Amino acid sequence: MAIQSPEFSEALTKLLVREADGLLLGLLRNELIGVYILQDDLFRYVNSRFCEMFGYSQEALCGKMGPVDLTAPEHRQLVAREIGLRLSEASPSSRYSFEGLKRDGGRLPVEVLGYRTEFDGRPAIIGIMLDNSERYRAERKVAEQLHFTSQLIDAIPNPVFYKDEKGRYLGCNRAFEKYLGCTRESLLGKSVYDLSPRELADRYHAADQALFDVPGVQTYEARVQTAEGDRRDVVFYKATFDKTDASLGGLVGVILDITERKRMEEELARREQEYRTFVENTHDVIVRFDRDCRRVYVNPATCAMSGVEAAVLLGKKPSEFPGGANFLEFESRIRGVFETGKGDEFEFNWKGADGKGFCSHVRLTPECAPSGNVVTVLCVGHDITVLNDQRSEIHQMAFYDSLTMLPNRRLMTDRLQQALDASARSGKQGALLFIDLDNFKTLNDTLGHDIGDLLLQEVAKQLVSCAREGDTVARIGGDEFVMVLENLSEHPVEAAAIVKGIGEKVIASLGKPFHLGGHHVGSTPSIGVALFRGHGQKIEELFKRADIAMYQAKKSGRNSLRFFDPGMQERVNARATLESQLKNALEHRQFRLHYQVQVDEAGCPVGAEALIRWLHPEMGIIQPANFIALAEESGLMLPIGQWVLEEACRRIGFWRKSRLVVSVNVSATQFRQNDFVQQVKSAISRHGIPPSLLKLELTESLFLESMKDAVAKMEALKEYGVLLSLDDFGTGYSSLGYLKRLPLDQIKIDRLFVRDIATDRQDRSIVRAIVSMAENLGLNVIAEGVENGEQRRLLTEMACRHFQGDLFGIPLAAEEFERSYISC
């Protein structure tokens, strides 16, 4: 304690003895209550609790500071006034609260009990100070909760009100004020009779009393009069609440306006009745299906058409009745709607219980729950049986010839346009064949139209039998027929050859006599052909060309086929002749092998490529480009390829001392034979040559059909000692992935990249990449088509070590090649 002198101690002792028989002494020693003695606006004494509350020592307070110094600025006037009142005779004691100011700047809510006394013969104040922090926090929390509750109630969009146990209003939210046109202040203490018309107030009051009699919750519908004077339908939700002593405190209520909902319910009921009236009286089949495809509703029309009562249909799947197999696809469509959530629409043929057939236009509509999940599917089926029959009949009459049942001119024209479109996309040729029966008018005049009609029907059957799948045969009038052939070939000559074959088949089929009505009737056709490709030609022009070609066929003696383009006709005939001659070429020893030298970087021969030539007795030397494709198509490639292999091996036997490697090209047809490996081994064995002097050049197309089979054959040949080269590399399906799998010795760079290597940067990059890749794979590289020194120089700079081309020598017959290179 800050007791500065004996006089102070004596005065304090007298005070303690005098005041309340020692009560003050107990307070001063109390460690929970702050106690101070104030005189002349300064503390004369403070206990330890007081010091602890404000964070000051007794020395800092006593004689140096007063209550005003420990008071928040906004409360200092209050504290000063209270001290002045304590010191006056009028108010010897008081109780008040304020916020104190602690040494650390923090605020301390306190409550002071002060009364006047005397200390050392002069007026003083004894003060008892209570720390109100906890109570302040509690009161603040309550206030915040009340404020939050008030805001929460005001935030509720529906009108909310609360009443006491007498039914008098205690308050409401803003929505209530707006809805009923009153304020909270005007509402307080009033009853429903003060706010509503009598007939409404009586009902509200009775409802409140019923709830008070049996406390709990209450819900009912009623009508209220709003601020605008409208009568609205509402639902009252009410609940009682208790006081702290558990006695009835009153009720709280919420008003929900259901005027719009009731209007919608009434409208829905009206529409439901209209819908039911329609559904029950419509001629359309209406069925509702659940997720198991079982019927959960059927209308009377469903029962009438199916011939089955509703009680039997409900709960069953369509497929569970006789003939229900027809409905399996129907049920699949229903399940599809459940799975996708999308409607479906289609035509469906079905039979009733009596076997009567129907055709319905069916619409399936998903019916969803609020969650979006499909819960049922509504099926509406409109009977189009009669309409469908009429439609089929009309379609038949509009697009088909009534006598032969072939497409008529209208449908054929549409098919021809489709063929033109398809040709434009695929790039393949198509053909229009105009077929006219020779002497048909004479037959009609002599044997009658009945026999003529029978002949036309028989001709139609024969033409259909001659056509391929996808081709169109049509009768366009009288004795005139048309065939539209699609997807022939990209090459006009090959396409023409296919057309010629079909045309000859038609001529042969129609050339046989028909037994019609007791008569042996013969008929021959004249056929005109117009080839087409893409959109470049008009349908009318094609008809005109085919018609002209047909008349050319008639002029040439009938019972024949002619192409519109005379030059095309000549080429087709020439191709047919060439094919016939090709078949005899092997037998007559008309094939020869020429050899083109292959050199190393020093220019010395290291090998030769065997190149076939056809020595035609009339046409001279025919290059392979002009007959190899024809040999493939005619099935002659296998014997020709076998001859090349045998002849090359025979020549290697003559040149074996030179150690020149001879390369032989192998076709895909030849390579894919099951015994190809054995054929090669047999040829090598027959001629007694080292396998390492034979090199087979394979193209990339060989590996597309079966990589596994190709690799197996190559490995067998490699193991036997035969060399393998990949021909024309880079022009096909080059892939490093498959290249790594192939047991190759060499890659041949195609002449396409060599030709412009001096001027085309991209070609140089490609060649450089091929050489680099081959080096990484351990393969040697040879470039073909080298024709000048600049090409050779660039290839050499790129590390290409082997070359072939006219720069080093043109292909020569075996004897000339031997004289030029074998002695090198």
At position 29, the amino acid (one-letter code) is R
Percentage above 70 pLDDT, the chain: 92
The whole-number average pLDDT for the span 585-591 is: 90
User: pLDDT of 524-551, one tens digit each?
Assistant: 899 999 999 876 678 888 998 898 899 8
User: Is 107 strand, coil or helix?
Assistant: strand
Instruction: For residues 464 and 467, give the distance between their C-alpha atoms in angstroms, rounded to a whole number.
Output: 5
CATH code matching the domain that covers 585-822, chosen among 3.40.50.970, 3.30.70.660, 3.20.20.450, 3.30.470.20: 3.20.20.450
Class of domain 149-262: alpha beta
pLDDT value for 231: 86
Instruction: State mean pLDDT over 626-633.
Output: 83
Q: Which residue reads 């003895």 in tokens?
A: 17
How many whole angstroms separate alpha carbon 631 and alpha carbon 624?
10
State the sign of the Cα–Cα–Cα–Cα dihedral 380, 384, 385, 389.
negative
What pLDDT does residue 489 have? 87
Report pLDDT for 135. Answer: 80
**Tokens encoding 540:** 């009318």
Identify the residue whose tokens are 């193209």: 699
Compute the average pLDDT of residues 408-421: 90
- Mean pLDDT confidence for 420-428: 89
Q: Residues near 538 by Cβ (< 8 Å), separated by ≥ 6?
A: none
Residue environment code for 585-615, b if the CB has 16+ CB neighbours within 10 A, otherwise e: beeeebbebbbbbbbeeeeebbbbbbbbbbe
Query: According to the 3-state scheme, what is the secondary structure of 370-412?
Result: CCCCEEEEEEEEEECHHHHHHHHHHHHHHHECCCCCCECHHHH
Average pLDDT value over all residues in the chain: 87
Instruction: Provide, rounded to the nearest whole percent, the portion of the chain with pLDDT above 90.
Output: 48
**pLDDT per residue over 716-729, tens digit each?**
999 999 999 998 77
- On the question of pLDDT at 23 being above 70, the answer is no
69 or 739, greater pLDDT: 69
**Is there a contact between 192 and 198 (Cβ–Cβ < 8 Å)?**
no
Q: pLDDT tens digit string along 479-507?
A: 999 999 999 988 888 999 999 999 999 99
The whole-number pLDDT of residue 21 equals 42
Q: Which residue has the higher pLDDT, 633 or 529?
A: 529
Judged by phi (left if over 0) then psi (alpha if -120 to 50, else beta), residue 44 lies in: alpha
3-state secondary structure 704-765: CCCHHHHHHHHHHHHHHCCEEEEEEECCCCCCHHHHCCCCCCEEEECHHHHHCCCCCHHHHH
Alpha-carbon distance of 48 to 27, in angstroms, equals 11
pLDDT, greater one: 578 or 240:
240
pLDDT score at 824: 45
Min mean pLDDT across 247-261, 269-283, 656-670, 730-744 is at 730-744
Q: For the chain, give me the number of helices (H) and strands (E)?
A: 30, 32
The domain segmentation of the chain, as residue ranges, is 31-137, 149-262, 283-388, 427-564, 585-822
Q: What residues contact 773, with CB distance under 8 A and at least 6 apart? A: 736, 739
Q: Is the pLDDT of residue 650 over 60?
A: yes
The confidence band for 322, taking pLDDT boundaries of 50, 70 and 90, is low
For residues 343 and 339, give the distance between their C-alpha atoms in angstroms, rounded to a whole number: 11
pLDDT at 102 over 70: yes
Which option is the CATH number for 283-388: 3.30.450.20, 2.60.120.380, 3.40.640.10, 3.40.462.10? Answer: 3.30.450.20
Residue 390 main-chain phi, psi, to 5 deg: -65, -40
> Would 31-137 and 149-262 be classified into the same CATH topology?
yes
Domain 31-137: which CATH number of 3.20.20.10, 3.30.450.20, 2.40.50.140, 1.10.287.470: 3.30.450.20
Tokens of 661: 């490697």
> What is the pTM assigned to this prediction?
0.42
The winner for highest mean pLDDT among 378-382, 560-564, 604-608 is 604-608
Tens digits of per-residue pLDDT, 446-471?
Answer: 788 888 899 999 999 999 999 999 89
The distance of Cα 190 from the centroid of its chain, to the nearest Å, equals 66
Tokens linked to 110: 């306190």
> Among 10-24, 158-172, 371-385, 408-422, which is the least confidently predicted range?
10-24
What pLDDT is recorded for position 13?
44
CATH of 427-564, one of 3.40.50.720, 3.40.50.300, 3.30.70.270, 3.40.50.360: 3.30.70.270
> Does residue 568 register a pLDDT over 70?
no
- How far is CA 753 from each of CA 498, 515, 628, rounded to the nearest angstrom? 35, 65, 23
